[in-house]
Amino acid sequence: MNKIYIEKDLEWEDQITDHITYIPVAGASEMSNFRSPDSYVFIFFEKCKGVHSVDFLEYHESDHQIHISFPGQIHSWKTEIAVGHKLIVSRKFVEMNLFGTKFSSQHLNNLPIVTLSESQSNKLRNEFILLNQEIQDKTIRSKIISLRTQLIINLISHMVNENSIDEVDQVKISPIVSNFSRLIEAHFPESKSVKFYADKLAVTPNYLNILVKGETGQTAKDIIDSRVVLEAKRMLLGTSQTIKEISLDLGFHSIPFFSAYIYRKTGFYPKRFRETGM
């Protein structure tokens, strides 16, 4: 069920079928527009210096950090030096075993980078060392490794909550706005209409818009469009699908309409974005 991989080439990550995969992280690395596998990835840096972008937002890498990736996110990084640990956990494992953590309850990765205190870092380092030892010990049962992994992810979830400075985590989000976000994640390819979501939430479009704007500063339509555009960017840079295939997957029935929509929202056409990564 579990293996240790030495990190040399990231292409194999899409082929991983194990529910739990541990990778020691060491040295410099650089990558542009890598699409995360259909898994949750937790990278704990004991030492690190560089830059890491997650879904086109840039963050500085430094010592004592956790970098968290949700399935399908787009990453670019230029790491000068790193010592740490990478844990890749399948979506199924998280859904079955970690439903009490923020990773199973959130569809959007609002806090991809967290800087830890030295004591938090030492605690997490010790747990990763034990996990590594248990994976290498062929006499250790897979259940023990599963429990150790659950402990690490629960610990990370707790540390994220302790260290959160993101306004989204500090403000109490109304159930309607929270459910609106959940519904967008489930239905944005099929519907980009505010009325569609308002009907499912049993409120008027105007009331939904007032709630969303009051809590996020954006209109309900802006939130829907932002999710569509983000997925378009992910697919353009992170897959080999044709623009026609992407447009159909995102609910557009013609390339010209899809291209016009993306240009109107971003100022670039899909083909140009794919060629330049801008």
Domains and their CATH numbers in the chain: 2-166 (2.60.120.280), 171-276 (1.10.10.60)
Chain-centre distance for alpha carbon 122? 25
Q: Specify the pLDDT at position 141.
A: 82
Lowest mean pLDDT among 100-104, 111-115, 248-252: 100-104
- Average pLDDT over every residue of 139-145: 85
What's the predicted TM-score (pTM) here? 0.71
Would you say residue 249 has pLDDT above 90?
Answer: yes
Q: Which residues pair with 262 in a beta bridge?
A: none
Q: State both tokens at 49.
A: 């210096």
pLDDT of residue 1: 42
3-state helix, strand, coil in the chain (%, to 5): 50, 25, 25
Helices marked H in 137-278: 142-163, 167-170, 175-187, 194-201, 205-216, 220-238, 243-249, 255-266, 270-276
Confidence of residue 183 (pLDDT cuts 50, 70, 90): very high
Residues whose CB falls within 8 Å of the CB of residue 115, separated by 6 or more in sequence, listed in order: 62, 64, 65, 163
Report whether 274 contacts 244 (CB < 8 A). Answer: no
Q: What is the pLDDT of residue 108?
A: 60
Overall average pLDDT of the 106-129 stretch: 86
* 6 or 182: which leads in pLDDT: 182
> What does the mean pLDDT of the chain come to?
85
Q: What is the pLDDT of residues 198-210, one digit of tens each?
A: 999 999 999 999 9
Element (H, E) at 73: none
